[in-house]
Amino acid sequence: MSKRVLVVDDSVFMRDIIKDIFAAGGFSVVGEAGNGVEAVEKYKELKPDLVTMDLVMPYRNGIDATREILRGDGKALVVMCSALGQETMVMEAIEAGAVDFIVKPPRAEDVLAVVKKVLGEG
Partner 1 sequence: MAQWDTSRYTSLFISEATEHLEALSKELVRLEQGEVTAEAIDSLFRHAHSVKGMAGSMGFEATTALGHKLEDLLDRVRTTPTRFDRGVADLVLQACDALTAHVKAVAAGQPFPDAAPLMAQLVAATQSMRPGTTPLPFKENAAPPLVETTPAPESNLPPRWLISLKVSASSAQPGVRGFLAYKRLGSLGNLFRCAPSLDEVKAGKLQGGLFAVELETTETEANIQKTVSQVADVTLVSIEKVVAPPPVPAAEEARPESSPGDRVVGQEPQRTVRVKTELLDEFLDLAGELLLATAGVREAGRTLHEDARSQLNVSVDRLHGLVRGLHDKVMEARMTPVSVITDRLPRAARDIARRRGREIELIVAGSEVELDRAIVDELNDPVLHLLRNAIDHGVEPPEERRMRGKPPRGTVKVSVRRASDRVLLEVEDDGRGMDTERLKTIAVERGLITAEQAKDLPERDALLLSAAPGLSTATTVTDISGRGVGMDAVKRAVEQVGGTLEIISKRGVGTTFRLSLPLTVAMVNLLLVSVGDDVYGLPIGKVAGVVETTRATLAHSQDLPVLQFGQAVVPARELSALLGVPARLHDVNAACPFVVVETDEGRVALAVDALLGQEEVVLKALRRPLDKVRGLSGVTVLGNGRPVFILDVARIDAPAPHARAAGGDA
Does position 95 interact with partner 1 (CB under 8 A)? The reply is yes
Does position 1 interact with partner 1 (CB under 8 A)? The reply is no
Query: Edge-to-edge strands of the sheet including 28-33?
Result: 28-33, 4-8, 50-54, 78-83, 100-104
Does position 109 interact with partner 1 (CB under 8 A)? The reply is no
Among 14, 37, 94, 108, indicate the residue that binds partner 1 (CB under 8 A).
Answer: 94
Instruction: Rank residues 37 and 94 by Cβ distance to partner 1 and give the closer one.
Output: 94
Does position 122 interact with partner 1 (CB under 8 A)? The reply is yes
Does position 46 interact with partner 1 (CB under 8 A)? The reply is no
Does position 117 interact with partner 1 (CB under 8 A)? The reply is yes
Does position 58 interact with partner 1 (CB under 8 A)? The reply is no
Stretch touching partner 1 by CB under 8 A, among 3-11, 47-55, 58-66, 95-103: 95-103
Which residues, 6 or more positions from 62, have their beta carbon under 8 angstroms from its beta carbon? Answer: 8, 36, 39, 53, 54, 55, 56, 80, 81, 93
